[in-house]
Amino acid sequence: MRMTLAILATCFFLGWGLARVVEEVRFNQDCGGYLERAANANTTQLAEKEMARALEYIERNKLTEGYTSLLWKTPDEDLGFWYSNLSASLVELRDVRPDASQLERSNVLMKLRETLTNTGEHGTELTAPSGISVYPHNMAYCAWAVAAILLMAILWPIALYDM
């Protein structure tokens, strides 16, 4: 019976991990991927289309204000700034005149790429607040992980002790 409980606790933890992966994939499919495409676009029209699609998702899912952090508010997890920055980028793309020179268009696209991406440990990465894929349920996911880890830490030693 104790081994069964320990295995169930492990399944509870694996469920948390799977749920996080699924939420991350959903965010990338519905928003992050479009932001990456906007950053990589070769024309302002294409970038504008991708940005508009990403911002539609952000607004529909109310990712326009608040913080993704649980304990303290840090600038890198400020949804309001992130959303305002993305919105301003879309306005800039829409303000490019049809008769704008290639240099002007290139400058707007370079600025957009710098806004949307950073160079991180794994190369170029999308700039987005950490934990955004599970926002506004960050606290619930944290509680789920802590509960699962505590259950495993308690139940596995008991289950193995009886062997």
pLDDT in tens, 66-119: 999 999 899 999 999 999 999 999 999 999 999 999 999 999 999 999 999 998
CB burial class (10 A; 0-12, 13-18, 19+) of residue 64?
middle
**Start-end of H helices in 28-117:** 33-40, 44-60, 79-94, 102-116
CA atoms of 47 and 40, how far apart (whole Å):
8
Note whether 6 and 159 are within 8 A (CB).
yes
pLDDT computed for residue 120 by the predictor: 78
Average pLDDT over every residue of 18-47: 97
Note whether 44 and 108 are within 8 A (CB).
yes
Q: Burial letters for 107-123: b for 16+ Cβ neighbours within 10 Å, e otherwise?
A: ebbeebeebbbeeeeee
CA atoms of 9 and 154, how far apart (whole Å):
10
Q: What tokens appear for 162 in the block? A: 């009886």
pLDDT computed for residue 152 by the predictor: 96
